[in-house]
Amino acid sequence: MRRVAIGVSALMLLVGAGWLQWTSPEHDALSGVLARAGAVLAAVWLAYDALLRIPLMSLIGLPLLILVVVFSRTAKWLILIVPMVLLLALFWPRIQGKK
């Protein structure tokens, strides 16, 4: 049911983007946002079965690492933070499995 909901949402976003672009070209920004969100949801819909097999820590760790890299103010902290996050992402299933 979730895959169907994701697919329908992606289709509605893409149709809404096309409709906005067709009827009122002055709303280019909103149309672009809807098109991008629809494209991302369509990609999630296509990869839904594979995404179910990915460990939760990997789904949380990668966006967290990207946010740390984007929002860090100095490169000094990146030298410390990036290896720690990568090690945590690599060894998390092993640490959790030993309990």
Model confidence pLDDT, tens digit, residues 6-63? 999 999 999 999 999 899 878 888 888 899 999 999 998 998 888 777 776 666 767 7
* Domain co-membership, 31 together with 70: no
Last residue of a domain, one of 52, 71, 89: 52
Q: What is the pLDDT of residue 74?
A: 66
How many structural domains does the chain have? 2
Please give the residue range of the domain that contains residue 62: 56-97
| Residue 74 burial class via C-beta count within 10 angstroms: exposed 0-12, middle 13-18, buried 19 and up | exposed
Q: Is 60 helix (H, G, I), strand (E, B) or coil?
A: helix
* Domain co-membership, 34 together with 60: no
* Domain co-membership, 68 together with 84: yes
Number of helices (H) and strands (E), helices first, in the chain? 5, 0
Q: What is the pLDDT of residue 75?
A: 66
Average pLDDT over residues 80-99: 66
* Structure tokens belonging to residue 57: 């820590």
Of the two residues 13 and 87, the one the predictor is more confident about is 13
* Domain co-membership, 27 together with 65: no
* Domain co-membership, 33 together with 67: no
Q: What is the pLDDT of residue 92?
A: 66
Instruction: Name residues whose C-beta falls within 8 Å of residue 16's C-beta, 6 or more positions apart in sequence.
Output: 34, 38
Instruction: Compute the Cα dihedral for 82, 51, 5, 38 and give only its sign.
Output: positive
